[in-house]
Structure 1
């Protein structure tokens, strides 16, 4: 009887141990599955971040390239507006020819003048550069000089388009001074000074 009872206890203990081992094996398998999935998630996130970085770099390059192209096209637009302006057209006519607003036409002309000045400044050497290394006149570039001349012509055209009444005012100013100088009081004062001059000597 005692031997049978001990055998039963031993059997139950083995069964319990086997059940614990099976349970632990299932837990280990589930934990392994979770860990593999977690690792895969992290790898996918890293791959996504790397792909996004590449795409962002391409986007920035595309934006920079497009901005440079637009700036160059804008430069050509400004130079075209300046060329029309130098043909004697006023701002309103430039705007009408280019089918833009007068504000946009003025902006284009202003940008053209800035371009001319910048190119002229790029040609003109600084004082310290001239003192350090004189540049022969024969080696100076002529094309930027032409741009500077074009800018000056553009400025002259702007000054020539000022309202006419300013010119009329400038022509009337000397006449007003003549009328003041030729007033009777001025004549009398001048005559008195002429009579008094010999006495003073």
Structure 2
């Protein structure tokens, strides 16, 4: 019952804004995932990020492998070691495990090196897209521009409000044979 009341209220508010010209707003949407996929700079940045990620993953794998080899060696030599020697080796192995886990967190943890590198490489490309979206919005007098690829759920989109091609054109990535019409 509450949902129906809220939905009715929402519909009435939306109708008020739509019917009242003083509050009428023009809106559109773009698909930034599609736009980014058309940008060579973005694809290069993604490739660089993947290459860096794989290098860090390999480095961490090698660290794990080294510790596992230390454990295997300890097991093989265990009968020949005194209790003190065994305890020292176990402490060394534990320290190595702590080090590799700390390094992994430093690289791939929240706001770690990987996150910072990704931000460094992707942000300039995203800024280009946002600048182009802003220009398109101003040129077409849009007050609101939604991102179709974002978390905002768009159940229905009328292609007449899709400004993705305009943003691609603004970035110089539009299809030369494609004529944009906003009927």
TM category, shorter? under 0.3
Higher relative CO (Cα under 8 Å, sequence separation at least 6) belongs to: 2
Query: Counting helix residues as a fraction of each chain, which structure ranks higher?
Result: 1
Query: Counting strand residues as a fraction of each chain, which structure ranks higher?
Result: 2
- TM-score under structure 1 length normalisation: 0.25
- TM-score under structure 2 length normalisation: 0.27
